Amino acid sequence: MADTKREIERKYEATPRTGLPDLTRAAGVAAVTDEGVTELDAVYYDTPDLRLAADALTLRRRTGGADAGWHLKFPVAAGIRDEIRAPLSDTLPRSLAGLLRSRVRDGEVVPVVRLRSSRDVRHLHDGDGTVLAELSVDTVHAEGLTGGGEAAWTEIEVELADDTDPALLDAVEKRLRKAGIRPSDAPSKLARALAETGAEPAAPPVDPGTPGTAGAAVLAYVREQVEAIVAYDPAVRRDLPDAVHQLRVACRRLRSAFKTYKKVLDREVTDPIGEELKWLAGELGVARDQEVLDERLRARLGELPRTLVLGPVKARLRRRDAAHGRNARRQALAALDSARYLALLGRLDALLADPPLREDAAGDAPQVLARAVRKDHDRLAGRVEDALALEPGDARDLALHEARKAAKRARYAADAARPTLGKPAKRLAKRVKRVQSLLGEHQDAVVARGALRELAIMAHGTGESAFTWGLLYGREEAAAAAAEQALPEVWARASAPELTASLTH
């Protein structure tokens, strides 16, 4: 069973002769205790082409110390990593292997570096004796296991204890700097070991396209979305907040880019990939849509006065949420564990390595991209006008949902063009996003009404009062009507002629 620890630390250069200053003079530190020396032996694993190191991930099997076992570290921010631990075993635990799947694929990880360290540990305490941080002076010997190079160095590491204010790191660093001790340039021991043993990861083979062309601009955006899919895969497996949504968004952005920029990338290649992205987003969508619906229904219920909540409404909603949530998560994980998903990742890699560029790919980026963005905006205009021409009812609800999808595509098109077209594309994307958000509110209300009707039927069938469910249904009808009423004004701002006219000025 794996567990996660948030690691917040800083590293400093040192030599065997470096002396530590009196750290009790650092703000908040009342005492420093010597915890002795621990011998650590860690073997770091990666793919033969060092894909993990290229993304700043580290995987090691370490013996010695209180946390012997397998450790997988994901970067969070500068000096902050999430360390996921699993018990010591001879082979990589399945719990960690799954988190590496989007990068390792069908391959395997192999030993790349061995680090043997003598760790001289000190604990920094506050006035109550609580441990605030651990400071270690590490004497490291690195041995490259693929090229045979070796290196040795000494470094100082300061790691915060759980729930310690990160400001302590600034206070300790101030004392270290006054003693002439400087921060390390290496982000991790592994990065330094790879650099000093001559085994740094190579850049992945990708075709960036000719600079300044539409092909280069579109490929840069496509690459960004592919990297997002790979990066959010382990976040979904870890059930991190918003991870499913972000992975799904990357799939949708990529699929939209293939359609919007069909004169740049050949659809004979991108259409089949787009269908696979649609499948993946659909499998993930069960979890995401359920999450959005659950949050909405709980919020609506929380807005009601207690006197209007009749029967075991909250209990029924909790049971429904739990059952649907479990099923949705199982479906999402099954998709990520499938051979079909791995095949999709492989096809995305192949597309970037050998992009199917069409004639417009060689064209001037601002002109080609502006033309594509305008076309998607025109498409959105048609959908909105068609929806507004209908009478309220099911047909209009469906038309507004189609307009929402068109708004999302137009927004994504403008977002993709922002590095090329600058502020005009940003302004257009912002206006269209408001349309998308309003139409999203309308669609959420439509979906919520369907769920509330089912809940009312189940409640009635067991003899419970359906009054509260009906009341919530009425509120969702009002929310949908309010969105429809607001749409003409919001759309007028998003369809101002100067918005699209400014794209190439």
pLDDT of residue 93: 95
- 356 and 409 part of one domain: no
pLDDT of residue 294: 85
- 403 and 504 part of one domain: yes
Q: What is the mean pLDDT of each run of 10 residues along the chain (505 residues)?
A: 85 92 95 96 95 94 93 93 94 95 94 96 96 96 88 96 94 95 92 87 65 93 97 95 93 96 96 97 83 87 90 85 76 94 97 94 94 96 95 94 96 95 95 96 94 90 90 94 95 92 77
- 391 and 256 part of one domain: no
Taking the C-alpha atoms of residue 158 and residue 183, their distance in angstroms, rounded to an integer, is 11
**With a threshold of 0.85, does the pTM exceed it?**
yes
Contact 86, 62 (CB under 8 A): no
Q: Whole-angstrom distance between the N-terminal and C-terminal Cα of the chain?
A: 58
pLDDT of residue 383: 96
- 381 and 355 part of one domain: no
State the CATH number of the domain containing residue 225. Answer: 1.40.20.10
pLDDT of residue 167: 95
- 376 and 452 part of one domain: yes
- 372 and 352 part of one domain: no
**Residue of 230, 213, 229 whose CA lies nearest to 265:** 213
Residues in the chain, overall count = 505
pLDDT of residue 1: 47
Taking the C-alpha atoms of residue 440 and residue 478, their distance in angstroms, rounded to an integer, is 15
- 340 and 435 part of one domain: no
What is the residue type of 28?
Answer: G
- 116 and 183 part of one domain: yes
pLDDT of residue 169: 96
- 163 and 27 part of one domain: yes
- 173 and 140 part of one domain: yes
Picking from 162, 178, 195, the residue at the C-terminal end of a domain is 195
Number of domains making up the chain: 3
> What is the residue range of 177's domain?
3-195
Picking from 136, 160, 195, the residue at the C-terminal end of a domain is 195
Picking from 360, 382, 401, the residue at the C-terminal end of a domain is 360
DSSP string spanning 275-336?
A: HHHHHHHHHHHHHHHHHHHHHHHHHHHHHS-GGG--SSHHHHHHHHHHHHHHHHHHHHHHHH
Q: How far is CA 339 from CA 1, 247, 288, 344, 346, in A?
A: 25, 18, 22, 9, 11
Q: Indicate the burial class of 494 (C-beta count within 10 angstroms; 0-12, 13-18, 19 or more).
A: buried
pLDDT of residue 320: 77
pLDDT in tens, 66-94: 889 999 999 999 889 999 999 999 999 99
- 319 and 370 part of one domain: no
